[in-house]
Amino acid sequence: GAAAPRPWRLFGAMCLLRLPRITQAMEKEEEEVAALMEQIEVEKSQYSDHEIRKMEEEEQLKKMKESLYDEEEVRGKTVIMAQDLEEKWEQKFLRFKAAPRITDADKSNDRTSLNRKLDSNLMLLVRQKIGNQELWLLPQVEWQPGETLRSTAERAMASFLGDHIQAKVLGNAPYGIYKYKFPKAIRTENNVGAKVFFFKAFLQSSDLSQAELKTDYLWVTKKELGDYLKSEYLKKVNHFLLD
Amino acid sequence: LTLCYISSCSSWLPQRAPLRGSHWQSSLLEVRTSLPVRAQPKKKKKVDVKKEQAQKERMKKRLRKLEKAAPELIPIEDFITPLKYSESNRVRNLPPLSPEETERRVLLLKKWCLFKQKQDEAEKKAIKALVESQQEALKELRLESEELYQAALQRDEGLFPFERDGPSYTPPLPGYDPPEGKCIDITKVYTQ
- How far is Cα B10 from Cα B12, in angstroms, rounded to an integer? 7
Chain B residues whose beta carbon lies within 8 Å of the beta carbon of residue A121: none
How far A6 CA lies from chain B's nearest CA (Å)?
8
List, as ranges, residues 27-66 from A with C-beta within 8 Å of B: 27, 29-30, 32-33, 36, 42-43, 45-47, 52
- How far is Cα B122 from Cα B106, in angstroms, rounded to an integer? 25
Q: Which of A8, A21, A36 sits opposite B144 (nearest CB)?
A: A8
Report yes or no on A175 lying in a domain. Answer: yes
pTM for the full predicted model: 0.73
Residue A34 has pLDDT above 70, yes or no: yes
B91 DSSP 8-state letter? B
**What confidence score (pLDDT) does residue A4 get?**
65
Residues A84 and A116 in one domain: no
Residue A109 has pLDDT above 50, yes or no: yes
Residues A34 and A16 in one domain: no
Residues A124 and A88 in one domain: no
Residue A151 maps to which CATH number?
Answer: 3.90.79.10
Average pLDDT, 10 consecutive residues per value, chain B (192 residues): 46 53 58 55 70 92 83 81 82 90 96 97 95 94 91 90 90 87 87 70
Residues A125 and A76 in one domain: no
Q: In angstroms, what CA-CA distances link A204 with A138, B164, B165?
A: 18, 9, 11
Residues A119 and A176 in one domain: yes
Tens-digit pLDDT profile for residues B23-65: 665 565 555 555 555 555 555 667 788 899 999 999 999 988 8
Residues A123 and A236 in one domain: yes
Q: What is the mean pLDDT of chain A?
A: 87
Task: Determine phi and psi for A204, rounding to 5 degrees.
Answer: -110, -30
Least confident of A81-90, A99-108, A114-123, A162-171: A162-171
Domain encompassing residue A235? 8-22+105-240
Q: Which of B92, B109, B174 sits opposite A46 (nearest CB)?
A: B92
In chain A, the number of structural domains is 2
Beta partners for residue A217, in sequence order: A126
**What confidence score (pLDDT) does residue A198 get?**
95
- How far is Cα B171 from Cα B174, in angstroms, rounded to an integer? 9
**Binary contact (B171, A243; C-beta < 8 A):** no
Residues A225 and A109 in one domain: yes
**Percent of residues, chain A, with pLDDT higher than 70:** 90
Residues A76 and A146 in one domain: no
Residues A134 and A161 in one domain: yes
Q: What chain B residue is nearest to A56 in terms of C-alpha separation?
A: B89
Tens-digit pLDDT profile for residues A62-83: 888 887 655 555 554 567 888 8
Q: Which of A9, A22, A43, A51 should we substitute to test contact with B (largest number of B Cβ atoms within 10 Å)?
A: A22
A193 touches chain B (CB under 8 A): no
